[in-house]
Amino acid sequence: MDAPSAPLRRIPPPPPQRNYIHKLSDNSILRKMPALDIVKIDIWHGNRILNEEHKKDISENLKGGIQSLDLKPYHLVSYLVEDGLKTYIVDGQHRVSILKDTARKNMEQLNFDVIVIEKMCESENEVIEYFKLLNTTKAIEWKEDPTLQANAYIAAFEKEFNKGKVKLLRSEGSHRPYMCTKKLRDAIVKSNICSLEKTPQEFVEHALQKNKQFIEHFKSMTLREKLHDRALTLSFCLAIDEKFSWFQGFA
């Protein structure tokens, strides 16, 4: 059942962290984390599809054994969701996948620390831009990976619908009538929106048109649910349609 939701607060500064090492110029923090802890953190849902060949190459070239996976930092992002603070891995998913495989076989092998860089973000678009900054050498994948392609549509959607004080597109864990970023991204990928040779801005214009139609439809209803009334109050009704049927006609 959809629960009431208050406008998201501005993201707080990073809390004091145990094993804190250094604060970087972008306010991200460098700290130690047990390898057994990092394997419990989810991969950011806007990340590229895991490449098994790349993972295999890394695994086969661990000259110092599994502990050599501590040689490069892992990049994390944290931001507020409706249930509190959520943290994701935005860089290092292949190494983390190897760590997870090792933990399943013998957890004692992960008895070492890794270095993480944790950045606090205020929006999905900020996470996308940070991810792009960390992955400038992978330009070709931005044209081929459907999840990476979908990020451009998410960024454009957020720019349009998060203009006001109340953010309509929110991170994982949000409830209707707000739009969940993960659900929207998954729907874009599943529907092959990115293969239609339509720009992200055209997608936003289509969404605006459909939202207007939804508003007119809900206003004309004799009997409405509380959820419909809340959506009308926000002038945002797209998230009511959990099947994303409003994608139809975008071709």
Cβ atoms of residues 81 and 174 within 8 Å: yes
- Assess whether 80 and 186 both reside in one domain: no
- Rounded to whole angstroms, the Cα distance separating 86 from 173 reads 9
Model pLDDT, residue 5: 44
- Assess whether 99 and 176 both reside in one domain: no
CATH at 37: 3.90.1530
- Assess whether 198 and 122 both reside in one domain: no
- Rounded to whole angstroms, the Cα distance separating 119 from 126 reads 10
* Domain-located, residue 117: yes
Alpha-carbon distances, residue 128 vs 44, 66, 134 (angstroms): 10, 30, 10
* Domain-located, residue 130: yes
Model pLDDT, residue 18: 55
Model pLDDT, residue 15: 47
Tokens in use for 96?
Answer: 């983390």
- Rounded to whole angstroms, the Cα distance separating 118 from 73 reads 10
Summarised one tens digit per residue, pLDDT across range 123-158 is 899 999 999 898 875 554 656 788 989 999 999 999
* Domain-located, residue 2: no
Summarised one tens digit per residue, pLDDT across range 163-180 is 998 999 998 778 899 999
- Rounded to whole angstroms, the Cα distance separating 238 from 160 reads 13
- Rounded to whole angstroms, the Cα distance separating 203 from 208 reads 9
- Assess whether 184 and 218 both reside in one domain: yes
Which of the residues in the chain have pLDDT under 70? Answer: 1-19, 137-143, 251
- Assess whether 163 and 224 both reside in one domain: yes
* Domain-located, residue 64: yes
- Rounded to whole angstroms, the Cα distance separating 189 from 49 reads 12
Model pLDDT, residue 47: 92
Output the CA angle 2-7-12, nearest 5 degrees.
120
- Rounded to whole angstroms, the Cα distance separating 102 from 169 reads 37
- Assess whether 143 and 116 both reside in one domain: no
3-state secondary structure of 246: helix
Cβ atoms of residues 31 and 23 within 8 Å: no
- Assess whether 195 and 85 both reside in one domain: no
3-state secondary structure of 242: coil
3-state secondary structure of 117: strand
- Assess whether 55 and 117 both reside in one domain: yes
* Domain-located, residue 102: yes
Domain boundaries, position 74: 17-137
